Amino acid sequence: MASGFVQVGDTGNVAGNAYAYPKTWGADYVAAGEVRFALWAPGEKTVALRLDGTDTEMSPAADGWFELLATGIAPGAQYNFVLADGLVVPDPASRAQISSVNGPSLVVDPTAYGWEHDWKGRPWEEAVIYELHIGTFTEEGTFRAAIGKLPYLADLGITMIEVMPVAQFGGERGWGYDGVLLYAPHSAYGLPDDFKAFIDAAHHHGISVVLDLVLNHFGPEGNYLPRLAPDFFHKDRVTPWGAGIAYDVDPARRYIMECALYWLEEYRLDGLRFDAIDQIDDPSDTHILVELAEHIRAEITDRPIHLTTEDCRNVTFLHPRNEDGTPPLFTAEWNDDFHNAAHVLATGETHAYYGDFADHPARLVARILAEGFAYQGEVSPQTGKSRGTDSTGQPPVAFVDFIQNHDQTGNRAKGERLLTLSGEARTKTLFASLLLSPHMPLLFMGEEFGETNPFLFFTDFHGDLAKAVREGRAREFEGHADHADESVPDPNARSTFDASKLDWKKRDGSSGSGWLDLTKTLIALRQNHIVPLIARAAASNGHILATAPGFFAVRWSLPGGTLSMAVNLGKEKQPLPDMPGKILWSSRPHQAEMLDLDAIVVTLDNETSTGGIA
């Protein structure tokens, strides 16, 4: 059937999409073979649609929109927008790219993929989160290759995968936090149906999938929005990574709102992690984050949706709970305080932001585990400003803890993992504390088998942009201990990317097998004994029992039982406080009243969960 064109009126007045939630931006299927193309380009007088090599002028609509309704369009058709001066640009809301961020966009039929599994999701309290980067998780670095690792993760007990950002970014290699086409899976990883197949397969293995979404800025390469729509960005608002988005401008707000819902509905994801929300500055009466969370909760009711945030402010107002314990807005917060305090405790490093945790780090870890955050309004030595708010009223499931992730590992000059920095005994002790606390645990890919390959910062830029990134990365570490600028790997070198890939051979060695046994045992203990205690926990209910240099002990009074934990990473054995109940886990034989170095003991009283205590 030959394609045809029909000029349409104002955006939003077209008949509703029969296949998915209607989108304002981009190429939206409204019926089989019928596609509505829409672009907000108030900076342009004319715009043409180039579809499979043929240019057709688009119809101007109200408020700077251009639209065209095309019929007889087959999935996979290539298109661009052509501006008045001849500049050819991709669709800012492209659902897929043929290759690079600057190349043609592809028409995608959202109904083309045949879902095999009627997935109903998993409750949040069961989550053991596994953060992975598609490009370095396997040798091939694709969605399809990652499917082959899902049985392994399911056997370990992983119940949730958090995929680092996949929105199309400049070049083939990158972390994904410089995405510019926020609706398109990165072409180097595969097509939309490949990502859907990965999610579908994960659901088959009982694993939820959440996506890390960056809605606070656009990357430096391939972003044509400043030309198309200058008002998409605030003129006087700049984030650390680029121009601030004008969330109070209706078309920009729609782009962001619809982007989040698009990923959840069209890809059947189980949730989203929102990156650096402290950089989302919205002067609207209802903040876009609040409206977004409320909209998602109202729109998707057929399965649990888990929404987590990253926010250096240590706020709690975005994470309230209903009377039944369900979150009306966001589910949980990435708890950088736990990582930072634990890192100082394990390594003794106090440079940069670790300086905030240099004073009595064991005491700070204890406070975090008992109450939520280390900083609850205290002054940060690094900034000289107060940070945080009272977090004692938050349930333990409102905090996502980790001892490693992409950020703190990759933002080191040499990308060292904690195992390299602090050794096996100390790392395993912290690993056990992570998985056996009532907070929600996140593992970074490879952590489960003791991976020591670094995770470096890598990009695939060229020319002046590559030079700026390379030099900026070197300057970033000037003055840091052991971080001389000549030792910083070039982010644009292919070798930097290759060095960051997991070494799966280590998994099958004796050390890897030992780590895997430990991981599997700890996750099973968590699911059998701790998950039943935290499902109904309304507040942290933690109490610090004791602290000393390198040592802390905490007790949680939870519905159905009392959980206690003591950890010693100090230089001396420490007396154990009263820890009622049976031993749930002990890292090594210990005297009844003293805890050895680099050791942990966890006890549980009033056992009500399934299975026996180890």
Catalytic residue, candidates 162, 310, 416, 447:
310
Residue 366 near residue 544, CB atoms below 8 Å: yes
Report, at the CATH architecture level, how domain 537-605 is classified.
Sandwich (2.60)
Token pair listed for 206: 């009982």
List b or e across 166-199, with b for residues whose CB sees 16 or more CB atoms inside 10 angstroms.
bbbbbbbbbbbbbbbbbbbbbbbbbbbbbbbbbb
Same CATH fold, 124-526 and 4-106? no
d(CA 416, CA 454): 5
**In the chain, where the domains are located:** 4-106, 124-526, 537-605
d(CA 179, CA 217): 8
Which of 3.20.20.80, 3.50.50.60, 3.30.360.10, 1.20.120.1200 is the CATH number of 124-526?
3.20.20.80
Q: How many residues does the chain have?
A: 614
What is the per-residue DSSP string for 436-499?
HSSSEEEEETTGGGT--S---------HHHHHHHHHHHHHHTTTSTT--GGGSPPTTSHHHHHH
Helix (H) or strand (E) holding 596: none
d(CA 370, CA 562): 13
72: left (phi over 0), alpha (psi -120 to 50) or beta: left
Residue 73 near residue 107, CB atoms below 8 Å: yes
Q: Residues near 309 by Cβ (< 8 Å), separated by ≥ 6?
A: 273, 274, 277, 289, 318, 319, 330, 332, 333, 334
126 has catalytic annotation: no
Q: What pLDDT sits at residue 571?
A: 96
Catalytic residue, candidates 126, 258, 275, 336:
275
CA separation (Å) from 106 to 66, 213, 339, 610? 18, 21, 41, 51
In this structure, the strands spanning 271-274 and 179-185 are unpaired
Q: How many CB atoms lie within 10 A of CB 389?
A: 15
537: left (phi over 0), alpha (psi -120 to 50) or beta: beta
Q: What pLDDT sits at residue 519?
A: 98
Residue 143 amino acid letter: F
List b or e across 111-145, with b for residues whose CB sees 16 or more CB atoms inside 10 angstroms.
eebeeeeebebbebbbbbbbbbbbbbbbeebbbbb
CA separation (Å) from 255 to 132, 163, 311, 463? 26, 22, 22, 30
Q: Does domain 4-106 sit in CATH 2.60.40.10?
A: yes
282 has catalytic annotation: no
- In 3-state terms the chain splits into helix, strand, coil percentages (rounded to 5) of 30, 25, 45
Q: What pLDDT sits at residue 12?
A: 42
Q: What pLDDT sits at residue 13?
A: 35
Q: What pLDDT sits at residue 613?
A: 55
Kindly report, residue by residue over 496-535, the tens digit of the pLDDT. Answer: 999 999 999 999 999 999 999 999 999 999 999 999 999 9
d(CA 437, CA 354): 23
3-state secondary structure of 587: coil
Q: Considering the entire predicted model, what is its pTM?
A: 0.95
d(CA 491, CA 220): 15
d(CA 106, CA 259): 17
Which residue in this structure is represented by tokens 């989302």? 280
d(CA 597, CA 109): 59
Please, what is the angle between helix 424-436 and helix 336-347, to 10°?
Answer: 150
Helices vs. strands in the chain: H and E counts, helices first: 16, 29
Paired strand residues for 599: 568
d(CA 162, CA 444): 9
List b or e across 560-582, with b for residues whose CB sees 16 or more CB atoms inside 10 angstroms.
bbbbbbbbbbbeebbebeebebe
Q: Residues near 375 by Cβ (< 8 Å), separated by ≥ 6?
A: 314, 337, 356, 387, 388
Token pair listed for 272: 């989203």
Task: For the chain, list residues with pLDDT below 70.
Answer: 1-22, 478-486, 589-592, 607-614
